[in-house]
Amino acid sequence: MGNKPDHDILRWALTTYCQNNGDIVATFAAMGDDPAEALKKPLMCDTPEKFAANYVLGYMKY
């Protein structure tokens, strides 16, 4: 993982997460993706929305 994430996308993802009071389903929805569908997709980071949503989901798990 040599690529650095886009800070604007990360800021957007974390801001959206906070605006939705930590509700990951609402965060995914606000970013334009259904979490159940996003997690099934083979390319989870091929759009900024999916990258941000999956980053937030992964970040909040740990």
Alpha carbon distance 55, 48 (integer Å): 10
Alpha carbon distance 27, 42 (integer Å): 20
What tens digit of pLDDT does each residue of 7-56 get?
777 788 788 888 989 887 788 788 776 666 655 666 666 677 777 777 77
Domain boundaries, the chain: 7-61
Query: Global pTM?
Result: 0.51
Per the CB < 8 A criterion, the answer to whether 41 and 47 are in contact is no
In this structure, how many other beta carbons lie within 10 angstroms of the beta carbon of residue 23? 12
